[in-house]
Structures are given as structure tokens and as C-alpha cells.
Structure 1
């Protein structure tokens, strides 16, 4: 494995772990409940990322996962079927499915060179030809993007914030400091708006 490939693979692994960490310690309701007007929820984010990783680091390289995301087959006409979990779809099942997709994607990454060609059948033909390098970078971006959504959703649920358990990425302050900080930001926003 090249240094570049190893670094990209490590970054993808960190993004995956960070996303899953946002689910730790929560019950089924908090994992599933919609926290934004468009329904963003933690388990739906994991479900979505597992499906796109199965596509971009599997199907695109003619290496489909042995168990495709079942929710697309169950109800292909359901809007956003990959963005929320139905009552019968347990969190344990969705998380385990995501981990199986990781293992499959990791095998693809290890087996192919960064310049290995692939085709994204759902993209326009003029953009459909890609390389493994491009798809790993895309998945790092997608996983981190949805990890960022998960950061906000988790903070709204119970105040847990930070990148991962061993590195929060936020200043270590008490609740009083954060309340005063937020009040200062609110005041600045009102001043800027002229109110």
C-alpha cells in the first residue's frame, strides 16, 4: 500500500469511527428521532452513508457487496428510504450492516491501486469514469459531511460534542463558560443585524 493510499484509508477509517461514536450510549428513540425540519436523525445518517459507501467503494469497481442495502429493495419508491430507520430496522442491524460495508470497502481499497478505474453508473456519462483515488476522497468527504450533521444532532439531543472520545476538538470549559459564550455570540449577531 502506498503512503498516499494508507493515509487516505486511515482518514476514511477515522471518519467512519467518528460518525459511529455519535450513536454511543443513546436509546432507540434518540437514535431515530428527527432533529431538523427535514428529518435529520443519527441512525438515518449511518444508514445513508453505508449505502453510498457500498456503491462508491463496491459497485463502482464491479465489486458489489454480497448483501446490498436491503431498504432499497424493500421499498424502492419510498422517498429518502435510506435517511431514516423503520421500527423493524434495529439500530444493531444498521450498525452491523455499516461495519460489513466497511470490511467490503476495505478489501476493495487493499486490492486495487489508487489509479484503478471504475464507473459510476448513476452519474452523467461525461463524469462517470473515475479512479479508486477519487472515490476514496469522495467517501472521506461524504462521511465527514454526514459526521458533521451527526455532531450537531447529537449536541441537540444531549449536549455531547466533539470529534471523537479521545479528541474533542473543543476548548475544555464548563457549562457556565459555554452559556456565556453563546450569549456573547447571540449579542453580536443582534448587533450586526441592527436590533
Structure 2
């Protein structure tokens, strides 16, 4: 038998680890560069998820936090989606790891059916349980880890789940070039209709 709370926590931690792995070996510039029209960047995803963990696993369950500093009622839009020049990788990652500890304490001390309330959600969805928020946190973190996977591939071609298991069919460059060419040909053929 497995422990459902431990299983959920393991999935959350796997997504956290995958996200941080995407920063490994990159320069300060590369972890910050906006690679989509909406500015998506690696360090910004880490910064955003720091606020997500604090916001969902703290106050809704009666816990307060004095960080991160960018989460206030009067912050500008998307300030949590990019790191300012004076917010170093170590600073942002350190806050993210601190958020993990904060979240983990909530998960450790409360049962899955512990009630919480998300004030900014629609009235019919505001009342939640720790179980519901854990599932939400897992989905949110895995979603952004997927974004990070694509952004990292755009930076230097590195792709996959983790350093010890990329979860890809092969690492052979020629195979991927041929595969991509096949996908492109199929897209062009389908686009002729």
C-alpha cells in the first residue's frame, strides 16, 4: 500500500527538480532571456512558482509568510514571471527552495482533507482541501516544467525530463534531425489542402 499524501508530494517534488535542472550549466543571460512572444524565461518560471507555492500552501491554510517580496496587492502585472538584474539565480532559487520547505511543512502537518480557502478564486471554488491544492500545485508545477523544457531546448538543445533520465527515444543528433524533417514534411503535405 502506498500513502496517497506521500505519492502526491513525490510528484510535486519531481516537477520541482525537473524545473531546476533546466537551469544547470546556463549563463545568467540564458536563464533570463525571453524566448517567446510573452517573455517566457527559465528563471522567471522558478520565480513564479515560488509565489505559487507560498500563495496556495500558506494563507489559505491559516499560515503566513514574509516572502517572496514581489507578492503584494499592488505589484505590476507579471513581475513574478521574470527576474530583475539584481535578483540573482542563487537568490531566486534560494527563495524557491525556501518555498518548498514552507509547502512541505503544510503538507506534513495537515491531513489531505484539511479545509482551506483561496480568496481570489470564484466564490463557488474558493473552499478547497489540501488534497485539491496539492493536485493543483502538481499540475501547475508540471505545466511550467514543460514550458521550461521547451525554453531550455530553444537555448541550447538540451531536452528531457532529468539529467539521469531524459525520457527521450535517443540522444543521437542525426536521428532527431531526420525525425524533425519527417514531421516538417508531413506538416507541409497536410498544409497543401
- 1:25 corresponds in structure 2 to 25
Mapped to 2, the partners of 1:96 and 1:77 lie a distance apart of 21
Q: Does the 8 Å CA contact 1:48/1:83 hold for their aligned counterparts?
A: yes
Mapped to 2, the partners of 1:140 and 1:154 lie a distance apart of 20
* TM-score, with structure 2 as normaliser: 0.96
- 1:70 corresponds in structure 2 to 69
The unaligned stretches of length 5 or more in structure 1 are: none
* TM-score, with structure 1 as normaliser: 0.95
Mapped to 1, the partners of 2:164 and 2:67 lie a distance apart of 33
Question: Residue by residue, what CA displacement relative to the aligned partner does 1:49-77 show, whole Å, maximum 9, x if unpaired?
Answer: 11011111112111122x3211234x934
Mapped to 1, the partners of 2:92 and 2:121 lie a distance apart of 26
Report the aligned-residue RMSD: 1.3
After TM superposition, which residue ranges in structure 1, 4 or more long, deviate above 3 angstroms?
none
- 2:179 corresponds in structure 1 to 181
- 2:47 corresponds in structure 1 to 47
- After superposition, residues 1-195 of structure 1 pair within 5 angstroms as 3-65=3-65, 67-73=66-72, 76-194=74-192
Shift of 1:97: 0.1
SS, match of residue 118 in structure 1: strand
Aligned residue-pair number: 192
The unaligned stretches of length 5 or more in structure 2 are: none
Q: Does the 8 Å CA contact 1:55/1:64 hold for their aligned counterparts?
A: no
